[in-house]
Amino acid sequence: MKISIATDHGAFDLKNKVKSYLESIGHEVIDFGCFSDESVDYPPIIAKAASAVSIGRCERGIVFCGSGIGASIVANKINGIRCALVYAPELVRLSREHNNANMIALGGRFTDFDTAKELIDIFLNTEFQGGRHLRRVEQIMELEKFL
């Protein structure tokens, strides 16, 4: 899979570890930064990773910040993005099965690497269930027309 990633300084180390992990299991990663642990503003960086998913350059995206909150808010501003802020396996599973999430946000100050790997494996390997959930996802995407 082609996967976009991005972070601010709040999850710089975690982003780099996740990038190596994704590549080690055969994924292609497009890394939108940041590229040092110096303090940076996350919105423009995260928006690039989300745009890559929005235009189809990447199939999925994983974004990070200290809490994951800012990253998820930014990603969800981009058309076509359904980004779930996830901390627990059950949440990431549901984000795929029910919400067809195409991105997840992780909080680097609250999520260790082993947990991140577990969450990412579920994100990449869980199918959307469709059915009644498809109707609801379509209703969410309809809302973009009012922006």
* Closer residue to ligand RB5, CB minimum distance, 95 or 111: 111
Is-contact 86 56, C-beta < 8 A? Answer: no
Considering only the stretches 26-34, 59-67, 77-85, 132-140, report the one whose residues sit in contact with ligand RB5 under the rule CB under 6 A: 59-67
Residue 86 has which token pair? 């996830």
Q: Which of 4, 5, 6, 8 touches ligand RB5 (CB under 6 A)?
A: 8
Q: Which of 5, 10, 61, 122 touches ligand RB5 (CB under 6 A)?
A: 10
Give DSSP secondary structure letters for 1-64.
-EEEEE--GGGHHHHHHHHHHHHHTT-EEEE----SSS---HHHHHHHHHHHHHTTS-SEEEEE
Is 65 marked active-site? yes
65 binds ligand RB5 (CB under 6 A): yes
Nearest-approach distance from CB 73 to ligand RB5, in angstroms: 7
66 binds ligand RB5 (CB under 6 A): yes
77 binds ligand RB5 (CB under 6 A): no
Element (DSSP H or E) covering residue 132: helix 132-142
Q: Which residues are catalytic?
A: 65, 98
